Structure 1
Amino acid sequence: MDFARRLYQRFSALVHELAKFGSIGAVAFVIDLSLLNLCNSVLDLGPLTSKVVATTISTTFAYLGNRFWTFRHREQSGLGREYFLFFLLNGIALLFGMLTIGFTTYTLGLHDTLSFNIANIVGVGLGTLFRYWSYKKWVFLEATEPIPVELPEGGVKQER
């Protein structure tokens, strides 16, 4: 039991961060999948245009959730910088989805909804691995100074 406790203590921050990242990602995935199918099947925008629209909207949600919940303990290097990098990296991750959907639709000639959604899920999975790594490396940076958890021992001095 002592080994398990030490292991948890060593990796607890990572476990909590991954759980939050996964929660935000799950909601963003539902947004992405819903909008993707709405745009493709109902609005008939086409598979690739539908993917771009759905990803743009779900990415905005994911940025806000990750910035203000998952990685809130990390240094904030400016909303504009983070937002730009976040969308740039999501644009790269979008390529995974575009490639899998394009390959399935245009190379394999599979135009049914099930094949379309499976291709999307594979692309999202590959993109998620890339996004987690890249957010930690370039967007939500480690704090250069420890972020205080509580007030200093003397409390806050009030001037009279």
Structure 2
Amino acid sequence: MIEPPPVNEPWRRLLVQGLKFGTVGGLATVVHLALFVFCIELVGMQPFWANFPAFAVALVVGFTGHFLWTFRDRDGASSWTPAFVKFAVTACLGLLLNSLIVYGVVNTFGLGYGYAAVLMATLTPAAIFTISKFWAFA
């Protein structure tokens, strides 16, 4: 049987960290969507307003998962308060980036929102992972 070449340790750590990031982000997304629908269907909120509490709770879920699991081996061993503030800023930057992508793709280029969704699902998580790794949780 042919053995695959060993994975370089830094690349392996980055891959594992990326998978953890995706898992926590997926959980935060499910929480966001579930609360969004709950606020609309059961509380009676308008969709625009329902997004805010859903985003806030998902932000806490994402921060907790990333602080305790994804980036727990961070070099700086920062306390949770500054890390939370940085993560909140990072999450808001992600929201802004997604909004700019949608506006640019749909309004500027006249393409369907599906193209924006593809960019939002690829570019934004990569940007947020990078900012989280090297700033928010550093």
Q: Same fold (TM over 0.5)?
A: yes
**Max Rg structure:** 1
The equivalent residue for 1:137 is 134
The equivalent residue for 1:152 is none
Task: Give the Cα separation in 1 of the matches to 2:34 and 2:99.
Answer: 17
**Alignment partner of 2:5: what SS?**
helix
**Alignment partner of 2:44: what SS?**
coil
Task: Give the Cα separation in 1 of the matches to 2:124 and 2:98.
Answer: 7
Compared CA separation, residues 50 and 124, structure 1 to 2 (3 A): farther
For residues 45-103 of structure 1, give each alpha carbon's deviation from its aligned partner in whole angstroms, at most 9, with x where no partner exists: 223222221111011011011011011000222221111111111122223455649x9
Contact in 2 for aligned 1:97/1:122 (Cα 8 Å) = no
**What are the ranges of 5 or more consecutive residues in structure 2 without an aligned counterpart?**
107-112
Compared CA separation, residues 78 and 91, structure 1 to 2 (3 A): same
Task: Give the Cα separation in 2 of the matches to 1:60 and 1:128.
Answer: 17
Give me the CA root mean square deviation.
Answer: 3.1
Contact in 2 for aligned 1:59/1:90 (Cα 8 Å) = yes
The equivalent residue for 2:78 is 77
Shift of 1:10: 5.0
Task: Give the Cα separation in 1 of the matches to 2:133 and 2:21.
Answer: 11
Alignment size in residue pairs: 128
The equivalent residue for 1:26 is 26
**What are the ranges of 5 or more consecutive residues in structure 1 without an aligned counterpart?**
105-114, 142-160
Contact in 2 for aligned 1:98/1:123 (Cα 8 Å) = no
TM-score when scaled to structure 1?
0.65
**Alignment partner of 1:84: what SS?**
helix
Question: Is the helix fraction higher in 1 or 2?
Answer: 2
The equivalent residue for 2:109 is none
Q: Which amino acid aligns with 1:67?
A: F
